[in-house]
Amino acid sequence: MEKEMVIGIPRGMSFYNNYPFWFGFFSSLGIKIVLSDPTTKQTMSDGSALVVTETCLPIKIYLGHILNLIAKGVKNIFVPSLQSIAPKIYNCSKIRGLPDLVRNVIKADINIIEPTLDKSQKHQGLYAFLEEAVKPFGITNIEEIKKASKQGWKVYNNFLVMARSGMSYKKAMNYALQGKVFIENASTSAPINVALVSHAYNIYDDRACMKIFDKLEKMDVKVFTSLQLTDEQMEEGIAALGQKRYWANEYEMTGTAGHYLKDNKIDGIITLNAFGCGPDSLMIERITRKAKDSGKPMLSLTIDEHTGEAGFITRLEAFIDMLYRKKRSKIINKISMPEYDYVPQTNICDSLTFAEKK
Amino acid sequence: MSLDVYLGIDVGSVTTKLALVDEKGKYVDSYMLKTAGKPVDAVQDGLRHILSQALCDYSVKGVGTTGSGRNLAGALVGADVVKNEITAHAVAASTNIPGVQTILEIGGQDSKIIILRDGIVTDFAMNTVCAAGTGSFLDHQAQRLNVPIEKFGETALKSENPARIAGRCGVFAESDLIHKQQLGYPVEDLLYGLCQALVRNYLSNLALGKELLPTISFQGGVATNSGMVKAFEEALNTKIVVPENHQTMGAIGAALLAMENHQYTEAETKFKGWEVGNMNFQSVTCQCTGCSNNCEVITILEGAQHIGHVEKIGDIKGNIIARWGGTCGRWDIN
């Protein structure tokens, strides 16, 4: 029987980290990829309607994307279960149980492609994981899979090289998928440099993060993220916070924060987490304590599907103002500190004689 | 003879505040009125009032707006600076209160804490989803207990044995309050108990892990409530300064920011003049059907002609001064 060589990939969770790899891998095996549409209000509300309210925003969004793929008529949907990416390094339970979650809340005639990556329990290697991913398409030749994975790494590495050079996430992604590599000259320095510490699925989803990159750029802020760091730098970052790595995507949080806390060119740290995220609540607490000790200003933002944009903008603006004013504090002090002693409630019009007070 | 002034407008959720400072940053005048759901009218009324009680001619050199309605107010009057209320309050306090290191600010819907060192903001926090302890909640409870909000503080101060109210959440605080009221607690004990509960809530929510050093300034509408001031003083065991213009501090800050901007850039002000108070403005809401986000886009127009129902946003013609509500930016005007 001829299998349909089409795979649907939801734009959510690990998509934002791993898509360049999957693109190269599946394309090389002749499997056509259908992506869900970028997140909209509809995606969020559709996904939220499926699960209990306590579930975190990225999972709700993920489910919304699955519905979107079903609406597009995709039969095979890729929902990997990333249990453990290295011995004793685990993902959060929601990510580990993602295929089960999807199966339980979405009642539709779909075929969930659910390879499991578990390097702690089974000492399973990457190839076994990849084999599982393409088995439903009738591809079993290990040499072919190895070749395709090389192609996957190529796209992924191209993406990483460009992102590390300081190129924006979207640009780097686009070029990588087109098979191009450009290195941009490092852009000129901005008055304020900020490190944005968060998971990729929070900050590269325009809807979820309310375009935080655009907002910061408009305020003349240069944003640094985990993408500009090497694994070694992030490993050192985690060590700098005095802890060993436990969570699979801890690089994006404590690793990044730990590195940028020591970086003098960074004026402040912004963390962004989804309301109700267990691992983040622990990691951000650790980052907050370290930031306090090292005197680095820090802002913690929380998002969920009800987050109002007004409060979000106010916090961002106030934080950037604070950094900006700190930098030019000398000038500000000269301007805002009057030379005369302040006498409260003296209406200076009183001293003008031509009018009577009403 | 005319006086060079800077105008600050703070459009909050409940009240709208206007303030003037002179070219040295010294307080000239201020006025506060209810926003009453119509920020445009409130700004216009405020401008007319400030002008009518003027003792001399004003020559406006710059305008700053702040508060949750800052963008709207900025578009209406032609603001030079549109800033968030945290910066505005911090600037006003550091200029007017010598040695201020902590600002407690509680308004109609927001509560904030701002930590300053050497006149510079070093940390701040804003209430998140919880509005317990803000002005609206106190207003509501006072109304329920049939105490005029102006008398709230006075009544609360009479309390000798304050009731212990659960202040973790506004909903629980209310049911606890009703329970205690039915047990026969005197009103003053209930009110002061509520103040203490809200102060506990504020300190555990916003001030957690922050070092509250004196001088501590208490600003915003709720600072009028002497019961809250006393409760803060007891909880923090230190004197709290309530500046004379605590209600209009945000507007004063906005005016100071306009002044700073003018002295920095020396640019001509974009202020449209006091006539703004008598101009016609209207707003038209229309849903964009460009994508599945279905954003509601609101357009603010200046001018008299009436615009009724419109099908498409593109059909709105006239002197558009502001438009927002879209996510993608296709309807933004500059």
CB pairs under 8 A between A and B: 117
Does B55 touch chain A if contact means CB atoms closer than 8 Å? yes
Among B108, B90, B137, B124, smallest CA distance to B249 is for B90
Does B120 touch chain A if contact means CB atoms closer than 8 Å? yes
Contact B120 A314 (CB under 8 A): no
Of chain A, the percentage scoring pLDDT greater than 70 comes to 89
Q: In terms of domains, do B157 and B210 share one?
A: yes
Mean pLDDT (whole number) for A324-336: 67
What confidence tier does A309 reach under pLDDT thresholds 50, 70, 90?
Answer: confident
- CB contacts under 8 A, B 188-217 vs A, are 209
Q: Tell me what the pLDDT averaged over chain B comes to.
A: 89
Which of A40, A315, A329 has its CB closest to that of B291?
A40
pLDDT at site A334:
55
Which of B119, B264, B293 has its CB closest to that of A41?
B293
What confidence tier does B62 reach under pLDDT thresholds 50, 70, 90?
Answer: very high
Q: In terms of domains, do B158 and B290 share one?
A: no
- Is pLDDT above 50 for A116? yes
Q: How many CB atoms lie within 10 A of CB B116?
A: 23
- Tally the domains of chain B: 3
CATH assignment at residue B143? 3.30.420.40
Measure the N-to-C terminal CA separation of chain B; round to a whole number of Å: 37
Which two structure tokens, joined as six digits, stand for B250? 């945000």
pLDDT at site A123:
67
What confidence tier does A349 reach under pLDDT thresholds 50, 70, 90?
Answer: very low
- Is pLDDT above 90 for A328? no
Contact B122 A322 (CB under 8 A): yes
Among A96-100, A235-239, B325-329, the least confident range: B325-329
Residue B184 lies in a domain: yes
State the pTM of this model: 0.87
Whole-Å CA distances, B88 to A102, A301, B24: 48, 21, 17
Q: In terms of domains, do B218 and B109 share one?
A: yes
Do residues B253 and B270 make contact, with C-beta atoms less than 8 angstroms apart?
A: no
Which two structure tokens, joined as six digits, stand for A312? 């979000």
What confidence tier does A308 reach under pLDDT thresholds 50, 70, 90?
Answer: confident
Q: B140-147, long-range: CB within 8 Å, 24+ apart, which pairs?
A: B141/B174, B141/B177, B141/B194, B142/B191, B145/B177, B145/B181, B145/B187, B145/B190, B145/B191, B147/B187, B147/B191
Mean pLDDT (whole number) for B327-332: 81
Residue B329 lies in a domain: no
Contact A318 B94 (CB under 8 A): no
**Residue B3 phi, psi (nearest 5):** -105, 130
Contact B121 A318 (CB under 8 A): yes
Q: In terms of domains, do B185 and B288 share one?
A: no
Give the model confidence (pLDDT) of A150-205 as tens digits.
999 999 999 999 998 888 999 999 999 999 898 877 666 788 999 999 999 999 99
Q: In terms of domains, do B127 and B80 share one?
A: no
- CB contacts under 8 A, B 68-87 vs A, are 68, 83-87
pLDDT at site A352:
42
Distance, CA of A102 to CA of B181 (rounded, Å) = 50
Q: By residue range, what is the domain housing residue B305?
A: 280-324
Among A228, A226, A196, smallest CA distance to A213 is for A196
Which of A302, A313, A349 has its CB closest to that of B128?
A302
DSSP state of A4: P
Residue B331 lies in a domain: no
Q: In terms of domains, do B122 and B207 share one?
A: yes
A292 CB neighbours in chain B (<8 A) are: 209
Higher confidence at residue B114 or residue B136? B114
Structure ipTM: 0.87
Contact B55 A292 (CB under 8 A): no
Residue B123 lies in a domain: yes
Of chain B, the percentage scoring pLDDT greater than 70 comes to 98
Residue B22 lies in a domain: yes
- CB contacts under 8 A, B 309-328 vs A, are 327
- How are beta strands B102-106 and B111-117 bridged, if at all? antiparallel
Q: In terms of domains, do B112 and B175 share one?
A: yes
Q: In terms of domains, do B77 and B134 share one?
A: no
Contact B94 A336 (CB under 8 A): yes
Distance, CA of B306 to CA of B318 (rounded, Å) = 10
Q: In terms of domains, do B121 and B230 share one?
A: yes
- Is pLDDT above 60 for B123? yes
Residue B334 lies in a domain: no
Residue B157 lies in a domain: yes
Q: In terms of domains, do B197 and B138 share one?
A: yes
Among B197, B203, B133, B201, smallest CA distance to B162 is for B197
What confidence tier does A336 reach under pLDDT thresholds 50, 70, 90?
Answer: low
- Is pLDDT above 60 for A357? no
Q: Which of residues B240, B267, B292 is at a domain's end?
A: B240
B83 CB neighbours in chain A (<8 A) are: 317, 321
Residue B272 lies in a domain: yes
Contact B95 A355 (CB under 8 A): no
Whole-Å CA distances, A173 to A138, A179, A234: 29, 10, 21
Q: In terms of domains, do B106 and B203 share one?
A: yes
Q: In terms of domains, do B114 and B236 share one?
A: yes
Contact B25 A338 (CB under 8 A): yes
What is the SS3 string spanning chain B? CEEEEEEEEEECCCEEEEEEEECCCCEEEEEEEECCCCHHHHHHHHHHHHHHCCCCEEEEEEEEEECCCHHHHHHHHCCCEECCHHHHHHHHHHHHCCCCCEEEEECCCCEEEEEEECCEEEEEEECCCCCCCCHHHHHHHHHHCCCCHHHHHHHHHCCCCCCCCCCCCHHHHHHHHHHHHHCCCCHHHHHHHHHHHHHHHHHHHCCCCCCCCCCEEEECHHHHCHHHHHHHHHHHCCCEECCCCHHHHHHHHHHHHHHHHHHHHCCCCCCCCHHHHHCCEEEEEEECCCCCCCCEEEEEEECCCCCCCCCCHHHCCCEEEEEECCCCCCCCCC
B87 CB neighbours in chain A (<8 A) are: 317-318, 321-322, 325
Shortest distance between the Cα of B59 and any Cα of chain A, in A, equals 13
